[in-house]
Amino acid sequence: MPPAGIWIDGLVQSCIYMTMAFGMVLVFSILGILNWTHGQFYMLGAFVVYYAVTAAGVPFPLSLLISGVIVGALGMVVEKLVIERLTGPGYGLLAVTAATMALIFFFEGAAGMAFGLMAKGMATTLPGVLDMGSFSISYQKIAVIIFTLVIMVAMYIVLNRTKVGKAIRATAQQPDAASLYGVNVGWVSLIVMGIGCSLAAMAGGIMGPVQSVDPFMGRIPMIMSLLAIVIGGLGSLTGAIVGGIILGLLNSVIAYKISYFSEVALFLLVIVILLIRPQGLFGAAPK
Amino acid sequence: MLELKNVWIRYGKNVAVRKLTLTVNKGDFVTILGANGAGKSSTLNAISGLVKIKRGEIHFKGQKINGLKPGAIAARGIIQIPEGRKLFPLMSVMENLEMGAYLCKDTKRVRDSLEKVLTLFPVLKEKLGGKARELSGGQQQMLAIARGLMAIPELLMFDEPSLGLSPLLRQQLAEKIKEVSREGVTIVLVEQNARLGLMLATYGYVMENGQLVLQGKTSDLMQDEGVRKAYLGV
């Protein structure tokens, strides 16, 4: 059995993958596309928090919210200027896929020019550890876990209790009927892109003090959340959450057991899961 | 109330509807008959704004509505109950009904129409918390109509409501549609089951290959030799 610290590190990673995967699936369920540049919104969110805290002296929790708002708005701009123009009649999936992939390098390049390529360390915003006897957890990591719980509960309430949320679910399940009853599908697309990117940004922001901040930090979380989505079943929000938890924990535990070989083992495991359930754990069985 | 003037609908090179002109007056019960692919559903979708028309104009209560978004058309009181029901399968029955009233901001009005709708469809009352996809086929069709009524429509358009229902359920459905019509809602009913359409409606249009070939009172159409042969099988 790996020590508790390994599980906690895994859980912290789970939180990030879960939040990222949730946003990607939400966008996919409405727009029908994978936003390949999701990881760069994570990175930009971390930079917003970094500069808000270190340069402007904004309190950490407030700077998280600010990064969610700014990067969420940026996601809406991307939806309006890029994604909306490349979807719809006459366009295949390839155009919008290529465009969002190109944005990966655009955002990374832009961040590199603006903020420099060197990794920036951020002082711990929540110093101290919680002593649990045989092991201890830093408050910073506890913050990540609590933050994720709050986000997930908030998302549950928004999707199930509010009119906007019901419009989002209705559009995901039956877009034609939703528009017949007055839901503006273009507007819903904009909203979910804003929510998805805002979640990614806040996930990046909360990890700022745990890791370091650099223009390429979005790549690994992006790949991992993609894997989480594939394991959980593309299109299922529950799947994104469970996939994220499984992946974060496994990644940490496997790395502890066999270090360098860990990614190989992880991908092997994903392949095995997909061999047994090609639609993912929570995906609908193909008709 | 509803007027289609010289309407053309095209999907790429295929013409789905050509030169269609038809009128529906307030309080009417109109049916559009025709074989599969005659252009009936395309016509309804064009009225609802889901499909763009290539030529012609659609007017509702004297105002041009072609070119408006589906939501804007729904807001004017034209509600379609689409073919295959198109319920929100993973949402509860109650949420499906709420979505029907999505555009209505007056909560008291929503509550009133909910009460009215549940009186008309008592079977839904016991299922409000259950998911739409857990309902039987007949109940799903009832929910589709109930959701449509929640929008408080002035013009209600049915696309193949009897599809996939047993004769008994079809009979129940017909009763419900009649009741809705008696409430004063103007109805356009598209049916492949010509017998059902002619039995319920007072005026009928017959479409073939995207064109209007015949129209008249349903009592006259039922006597028409061509209609009897082609659609009633007698």
Question: E strand or H helix at B47, and its extent?
Answer: helix B40-48
The answer, yes or no, to whether residue A260 has pLDDT greater than 90, is no
A225-252 pLDDT, tens digit per residue, is 999 999 998 888 999 999 999 999 988 8
Residues of B in contact with A183 (CB under 8 A): 71, 99, 102
A133 phi, psi to nearest 5 deg: 85, -95
A182 to B89: CB separation less than 8 angstroms, yes or no:
no
Taking CB atoms and an 8 Å cut-off, how many pairs form between chains A and B? 66
Query: Which of A169, A176, A179 shows the shortest C-beta gap to B71?
Result: A179
B164-221 pLDDT, tens digit per residue, is 889 999 999 999 999 999 999 999 999 888 889 999 999 999 999 999 999 999 999 9
Going by their DSSP bridges, the two strands B63-64 and B55-60 should be labelled as antiparallel
Specify the pLDDT at position B35: 85
The answer, yes or no, to whether residue B124 has pLDDT greater than 60, is yes
B88 to A177: CB separation less than 8 angstroms, yes or no:
yes
Q: Which residues contact A138 (CB under 8 A, 6 or more apart)?
A: A124, A126, A128, A129, A130
Alpha-carbon distance values, A259 to A5, A248, A255, A264, A265 (Å): 16, 15, 4, 10, 10
Q: Which residues contact A6 (CB under 8 A, 6 or more apart)?
A: A252, A253, A256
CA distance B45 to chain A (A): 9
How far is the C-alpha of B194 from the C-alpha of B21, rounded, in Å?
Answer: 21
CA distance B23 to chain A (A): 22
Query: Which of B70, B89, B90 shows the shortest C-beta gap to A180?
Result: B70
**Which of B47, B96, B102, B103 to probe the A interface (max A CBs under 10 A)?**
B102
Band (pLDDT 50/70/90 cuts) for residue B234 is: low
Long-range contacts, stretch A210-213, CB < 8 angstroms, 24+ apart? A210/A12, A210/A140, A210/A141, A210/A144, A212/A119, A212/A120, A212/A121, A212/A122, A213/A43, A213/A46, A213/A47, A213/A50, A213/A119, A213/A120, A213/A121, A213/A122
Specify the pLDDT at position B68: 93
Ordered alpha helix ranges (H), chain A: 4-31, 38-54, 60-78, 93-115, 139-161, 163-173, 175-180, 185-207, 219-232, 237-258, 262-276
Query: Which of A163, A177, A184 shows the shortest C-beta gap to B82?
Result: A177
Q: Which residues contact A102 (CB under 8 A, 6 or more apart)?
A: none
Six-digit token pair at A181?
A: 């009853």
How far is the C-alpha of B81 from the C-alpha of B148, rounded, in Å?
Answer: 6
The DSSP bridge partners found for residue B22 are: B4
The answer, yes or no, to whether residue B10 has pLDDT greater than 70, is yes
B131-145 pLDDT, tens digit per residue, is 999 999 889 999 999
Q: Does B200 touch chain A (CB under 8 A)?
A: no
Band (pLDDT 50/70/90 cuts) for residue A146 is: very high
How far is the C-alpha of A42 from the C-alpha of A33, rounded, in Å?
Answer: 18
Specify the pLDDT at position A286: 60
Specify the pLDDT at position A283: 81
Residues of B in contact with A163 (CB under 8 A): 102
Taking residues A179-199, report their average pLDDT: 95
Residues of A in contact with B75 (CB under 8 A): 182
**Which of A181, A183, A185, A238 to probe the B interface (max B CBs under 10 A)?**
A181
**Domain boundary assignment for chain A:** 4-116+129-276
B102 to A173: CB separation less than 8 angstroms, yes or no:
no
Specify the pLDDT at position A134: 82
Q: Does B74 touch chain A (CB under 8 A)?
A: yes
Residues of B in contact with A173 (CB under 8 A): 88-91
**CA nearest to B99 within chain A:** A181
Taking residues A25-31, report their average pLDDT: 94
Sign of CA dihedral A101, A103, A107, A110: positive
Specify the pLDDT at position B73: 94
Alpha-carbon distance values, A121 to A51, A56, A111, A127, A186 (Å): 11, 16, 16, 15, 40
Band (pLDDT 50/70/90 cuts) for residue A1 is: confident
Taking residues A126-130, report their average pLDDT: 83
B98 to A176: CB separation less than 8 angstroms, yes or no:
no
DSSP 8-state class, residue A211: S
Band (pLDDT 50/70/90 cuts) for residue B53 is: very high
Specify the pLDDT at position A43: 97
| A45-54, A207-216, A260-269, B9-18: least confident range | A260-269
Specify the pLDDT at position B233: 73
Please name the residue that has the structure tokens 């041009």. B64
Task: Residue window 26-65, chain B: list those with CB within 8 Å of chain A.
Answer: 48, 50
- In this prediction, what percent of chain A has a pLDDT beyond 90? 71
DSSP 8-state class, residue B131: B
Band (pLDDT 50/70/90 cuts) for residue B25 is: very high
Query: Which of A173, A174, A183 shows the shortest C-beta gap to B102?
Result: A183
A69-119 pLDDT, tens digit per residue, is 999 999 999 999 999 999 877 788 899 999 999 999 999 999 999 999 999
Taking residues A140-145, report their average pLDDT: 91
CB count, 10 Å around CB of A28?
Answer: 19
What's the CATH number for A4-116+129-276?
A: 1.10.3470
Question: E strand or H helix at B120, and its extent?
Answer: helix B107-120
Give chain A's end-to-end CA distance (angstroms, integer). Answer: 41
CA distance B206 to chain A (A): 25
Query: Which of A170, A174, A182 shows the shortest C-beta gap to B75?
Result: A182
DSSP letters, A155-188, are HHHHHHHSHHHHHHHHHHH-HHHHHHTT--HHHH
Average pLDDT of chain A is 92
Taking residues A163-167, report their average pLDDT: 96
